[in-house]
A = this chain, B = another copy of it.
Amino acid sequence: MAEVRNKQVLLNDYVRGFPKESDMAITSSTLKLKLPEGSKGVVLKNLYLSCDPYMRGRMTNHERESYVDSFKPGSPITGYGVCKVLESGDPNLKEGDLVWGMTGWEEYTVLNTTQGLFKIQHTTDIPLSYYTGILGMPGMTAYVGLYELCSPKKGEYVYVSAASGAVGQLVGQFAKLLGCYVVGSAGTKEKVDLLKNKFGFDEAFNYKEEADWDAALKRYFPQGIDIYFENVGGKMLDAVLLNLRVHARIAACGMISQYNLEHPEGVHNLTQLISKRANIVGFVVGEYYHLYQTFLDLVVPGIKEGKIVYVEDVAEGLDSAPRALVGLFSGRNVGKQVVLVSHD
């Protein structure tokens, strides 16, 4: 095979505080599109790349053990993506197959293993980019956190923060399908409108327009909150703790408000967990992929029948990837942030 140009997004150095576009660099090199002799890996052409908040953690040099490795300064960023197989040393994958999983922020990626790649059973009525979102890691995160860890019952009161994001928009729709009362919060009027008019949340509010989140939650949940899907942490969690119902459940997959702080905020109202016999469960979706087929069987028909919708914010071209990733932390994205690298 020929050598190709391979544009890449590199991390310049470890990041402190909010990441900036200038923390990353775009470079080009050439790559021989050929697996090493005997490799059981794959050569991939990257089609879509996923921007996810957890990636902020990988930009930090971890003094303490973390559930994700740090990126390597000077090397390409890695993350979830949708890719086309160009060459495969794995008998289960062949040229032309589509997969999603961990790949590099570059045009082409050579992996020495196919472990962690999921083969996509592509049908033309589902956008391929969905495998970075609703049908990928964020979708599974919403499913696991809500269905597996919070056991929602019809009529329960569900609150979702960061509700228009990749995960939140699904949590709310899943909870509605289960007959829950769902309120979401987001940071712009446009997002609040999406929550109410597109995703069918019962209510939604702009947290930036509320001076007192405890008071806001009391207004939207006069009966209290049974389930909180925690994407935010810090002061929002503190306000939620003051509004729990007895036996409330909090599933925490992320605390985006804390990722860029040198010193995380204090949460003061944890004694409420005792008086309300409530729990907080932290989880990492990677431990639940044995449920992936069950999840697909639930969600794919929902998408096809129009019962579940998904909003993406697609940045065009690898050059736009740093800005797209950085934008997550100021809430610039509307819906799931994706980077389109190549249409095919």
Contacts and interface: CB of A to CB of B under 8 A. Distances in A.
Contacts of A126: none
Contacts of A273: 252, 280-282
A219 interface: no
A85 to B, nearest CB: 32
Contacts of A255: 270-271, 274
Of the candidates A237, A269, A281, A283, the one having the most CB atoms from chain B within 10 angstroms of its own CB is A281
A88 B268 CA distance: 46
A53 B87 CA distance: 66
Nearest to A266: B266
Nearest to A272: B282
Contacts of A264: 268-271
B279 A242 contact: no
Interface string A254-297: 11001000011111111111111111111110010000000000
| Chain A, interface SS category | loop
A64 interface: yes
B271 A258 contact: yes
B277 A233 contact: no
A66 B275 contact: yes
A273 to B, nearest CB: 3
Contacts of A265: 266, 268
A191 to B, nearest CB: 24
A136 B249 CA distance: 28
A232 to B, nearest CB: 11
Given A64-B242, A242-B64, A277 B268 contact: no
A274 B287 contact: no
A56 to B, nearest CB: 11
Nearest to A281: B279
A308 interface: no
A272 B64 CA distance: 11
A242 B64 CA distance: 9
A275 B287 CA distance: 12
A86 interface: no
B270 A280 contact: yes
B268 A263 contact: yes
B284 A282 contact: no
Given A268-B266, A269-B264, A270-B233, A287 B277 contact: yes
Central interface residue in A67, A270, A280, A284, by most chain B CB within 10 Å: A270
Contact of A274 (B64, B252, B279): B252
A221 to B, nearest CB: 14
A283 B255 CA distance: 24
A253 interface: yes
Contacts of A272: 282
19 contacts: A67-B277, A252-B270, A252-B273, A254-B274, A255-B270, A258-B271, A263-B268, A264-B268, A264-B270, A265-B266, A266-B266, A266-B268, A267-B268, A272-B282, A275-B284, A277-B282, A278-B282, A279-B279, A279-B281
Interface of A: 64, 66-67, 233, 237, 242, 252-255, 258, 263-284, 287
Task: List the 9 shortest-distance A-B pairs measured between CB atoms, nearest first.
Answer: A266-B266, A273-B282, A274-B282, A279-B281, A67-B275, A264-B268, A280-B280, A267-B267, A255-B271
